[in-house]
C-alpha cells in the first residue's frame, strides 16, 4: 500500500490549541498544506502557525470565521475552496456549557448545536463533492465519548455529539463507493475521545494532585477513575496520530466508524 502523498491540503477547524492543534501538527508531519481555523488572538495564531510549520507543514494559513453563523461558514468554505482543492477536513471546533436540562438557556442550546453539529454539516456539504470528484478525501469529525454515552447537565453537548456520529454515518454511506483502493476513496469517521490531557483540565488535575501530596499522576488516576477504567488520560498527540492514520490511503475501507479513545469507558 502506498504511503500518504505529500502535498495534501487540510482544513482543521478550532485548531489553535489542545487536541485540535495536535491534529494539525500530526497532519503537518505528513507534509500537508494546513488551513488552521479558530477564534484566537494574533499571538495565539502566530504561535500555532509556528508549531505547524516546525512540524513539517508545506504551508499554513489562518481563518477566524464564527461557526455559529451560517453565512460565515459559507464564507469560510468558499475562501478555502477558492484557494485550491481540499483533501482533508477535520471538524474539531466545539463549545460546551453545563446546566440541568430544565435550566439550560435556549440561546446556549442553539449556539452549542450550531457550532458542534450544524457547522460540521455545512463544511462537509461544501467539501465532499470535490473529494468525490477526485476519488480521494477524508473527513474526520472529532466527536466525544459523549457521542456514545450520555452525562448529566450536558444536554446540548451530548445531543450535538450524538448527532455528529449519526451525521457522519450518513455521509460515510453516501460516499462509500467513491474512488478506488489505489486512489484512497472518500471516508468519513468520528473519533470519540474521553479524558484527554489538555490545558483546560490543568486546574482540575492540580486540585486532585493536591489531595495526594502533589502527586500529579495520582491526581489524574483519581480524577478519571469514575469513568475511565484505564485510570490514565490520553495525550493530544495520540488523537493527532490516529487522525493522521485515518487519512492514509491504507484506511480506504474504514468509514462510518466512531472510534472511542477513552480507556474502556464505553465498555462498562
Cβ(46)–Cβ(266) under 8 Å? no
Three-state SS at 9: strand
Q: Which of 69, 195, 185 is nearest to 135 (CA)?
A: 185
Beta bridge partners of 37: 63
**Residue 157 known to be catalytic:** yes
Extract the C-alpha cell encoding 132: 468525490
Task: Please classify residue 71 by burial: count the beta carbons closer than 10 Å to its beta carbon, then call 0-12 exposed, 13-18 middle and 19+ buried.
Answer: exposed
Within 10 Å of residue 67's Cβ, how many Cβ atoms?
A: 26
Q: Is the dihedral of CA 68, 71, 75, 81 positive or negative?
A: positive
Q: Which of 16, 109, 136, 157 is catalytic?
A: 157
Cα–Cα distances (Å) from 248 to 47, 140, 189, in that order, read 27, 12, 13
Tally Cβ neighbours within 10 Å of residue 101. Answer: 11
The answer to whether residues 160 and 113 touch, using CB atoms and an 8 Å cutoff, is yes
Spatial neighbors of 227 by CB under 8 A, at least 6 apart, are: 145, 194, 195, 262, 265
Active site residues: 157
Amino acid at each position: 500500500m502506498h504511503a500518504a502523498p505529500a502535498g495534501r491540503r487540510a482544513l482543521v477547524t478550532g485548531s489553535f490549541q489542545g487536541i485540535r492543534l495536535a491534529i494539525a501538527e500530526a497532519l503537518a508531519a505528513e507534509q500537508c498544506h494546513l488551513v488552521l481555523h479558530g477564534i484566537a488572538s494574533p499571538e495565539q495564531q502566530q504561535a500555532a502557525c509556528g508549531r505547524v510549520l516546525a512540524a513539517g507543514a508545506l504551508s499554513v494559513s489562518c481563518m477566524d470565521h464564527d461557526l455559529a453563523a451560517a453565512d460565515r461558514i459559507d464564507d469560510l468554505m468558499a475562501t478555502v475552496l477558492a484557494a485550491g482543492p481540499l483533501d482533508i477536513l477535520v471538524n474539531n471546533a466545539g463549545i460546551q456549557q453545563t446546566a440541568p436540562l430544565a435550566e439550560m438557556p435556549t440561546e446556549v442550546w442553539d449556539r452549542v448545536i450550531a457550532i458542534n453539529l450544524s457547522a460540521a454539516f455545512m463544511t462537509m456539504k461544501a467539501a465532499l463533492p470535490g473529494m468525490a470528484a477526485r476519488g480521494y478525501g477524508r473527513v474526520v469529525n472529532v466527536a466525544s465519548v459523549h457521542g456514545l454515552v450520555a452525562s448529566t447537565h450536558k444536554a446540548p453537548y451530548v445531543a450535538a455529539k450524538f448527532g455528529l456520529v449519526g451525521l457522519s454515518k450518513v455521509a460515510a454511506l453516501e460516499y462509500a463507493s467513491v474512488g478506488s483502493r489505489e486512489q484512497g476513496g472518500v471516508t468519513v469517521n468520528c473519533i470519540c475521545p474521553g479524558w484527554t490531557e489538555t490545558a483546560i483540565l490543568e486546574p482540575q488535575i492540580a486540585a486532585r494532585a493536591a489531595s495526594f501530596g502533589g502527586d500529579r499522576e495520582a491526581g489524574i488516576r483519581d480524577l478519571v477513575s469514575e469513568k475511565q477504567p484505564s485510570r490514565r488520560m490520553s495525550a493530544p498527540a495520540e488523537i493527532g496520530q490516529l487522525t493522521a492514520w485515518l487519512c492514509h490511503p491504507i484506511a480506504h475501507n474504514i468509514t462510518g466508524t466512531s472510534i472511542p479513545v477513552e480507556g474502556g469507558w464505553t465498555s462498562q
